[in-house]
Copies of this chain bind each other. A is one copy, B any other.
């Protein structure tokens, strides 16, 4: 079993409730990664909704995560012919950490049926123009001290972030490759984690922050292989900023597009 599947495993406890375990293997410098917690809720919703793929997931982060036994409660909001919406809460020690809502569908059927063939795809811009993974740089030493997440997810970039060397570039954009280090192929359940797994581009403008809300659009099932990622913060002010993240699969298809609202830390 892969690390991701082991650490998002769920034990059915009846009535749409699942036992879970928050492990310490997906931590950032801020603690348990929000995307990991969102992936736990997304997986639980996949167990109770009658469609295979998350289409859009929105999570509100209520309290910081911590390592240990947890549970996920779910409820079905509406189940339609092609889409179903459900809600999940992640709990630990009697406190709700995350409230997530998601619509599920069958992405393969949607791609085959939903779009009129006369309308070609539009992508402005297209996938990131990265040097091949073999010609890109990984983190010095292979992972970032204190960030267990970087031991699970491999990160490579044509140019490593400037803040790593204490020299933020002033440009809150980033392009990188990612994949699970244990070679687990990416899938739609892993994407809510992966959109939150790269270093925040806001670090390049000297800002550290915490996620208030994260919305992920799942646009297609990813092909195996490296994922090409693009992230950007365009608007910082009033104590908040957004962070946009795109993930493109090895066949050049946009598979996830996310935006989070982040609160600047003093």
Which residues of A are in contact with B by a Cβ distance under 8 Å?
A: 55-56, 58, 60, 62-63, 77-78, 80, 83, 85, 87, 96, 99, 101, 103, 107, 110-111, 113-116, 119, 121-125, 172, 205-207, 212-213, 215, 217, 219-220, 233-242, 246, 253-254, 257, 259, 261, 263-264, 266
- Can you list 11 A-B pairs with a CB-CB distance of less than 8 A? A55-B261, A58-B213, A60-B77, A62-B78, A83-B212, A114-B264, A115-B239, A119-B236, A122-B235, A124-B172, A217-B240
- Asked if A261 contacts B56 (CB within 8 A), the reply is yes
Are B207 and A238 interface neighbours, CB within 8 A? Answer: no
Q: Given A235-B254, A259-B215, A264-B115, does the pair A60, B123 have CB atoms closer than 8 Å?
A: no
Of chain B, the residue at the smallest CB distance from A77 is B99
Report the copy number of this chain in the oligomer. Answer: 2
Which single member of B124, B212, B213, B266 contacts A116 (CB below 8 Å)?
Answer: B266
Chain B minimum-CB-distance residue to A57: B213
Contact for A115 among B77, B233, B238, B259, CB less than 8 A: B238
Q: How many whole Å from A214's CB to the nearest CB in chain B? A: 10
Please give, as numbers and ranges, the residues of chain B lying within 8 Å of A217 by CB-CB distance.
240, 242, 261
**Contact assessment for A238 and B107 in the assembled complex, using a CB-CB cutoff below 8 Å:** yes
Cα–Cα, bound, A77→B111 (Å): 35
Residues of B within 8 A of A62 (CB): 77-78, 80, 85
B239 near A113 with CB under 8 A, answer: yes
Contact of A212 with B242 at beta-carbon distance under 8 Å, contacts A122-B172, A237-B121 already known: no
Asked if A237 meets B123 with Cβ closer than 8 Å, knowing A55-B261, A261-B217, the reply is yes
Most chain B CB inside 10 Å of its own CB: which residue of A83, A122, A207? A122
Which residue of the partner chain B has the closest CB to A124?
A: B234
Tell me the complex Cα distance, A95–B248, Å: 38
A206 and B121 CA atoms in complex are apart in Å by 12
Q: Judging by beta carbons under 8 Å apart, are B237 and A254 in contact?
A: yes
Structural contact, B261 and A205, CB atoms closer than 8 A: no
Q: Are A58 and B215 in contact (CB under 8 A)?
A: yes
9 pairs of A and B residues whose beta carbons are closest in the complex: A114-B239, A121-B237, A111-B238, A58-B58, A115-B239, A122-B236, A110-B239, A56-B213, A62-B78
Chain B residues with CB under 8 A of A234 = 122-125
Point out the residues of chain B lying under 8 angstroms from A213, CB to CB.
Answer: 56, 58, 103, 215
Whose C-beta in chain B lies nearest to the C-beta of A172?
B122
- Select from chain B the residue with minimum beta-carbon distance to A111: B238
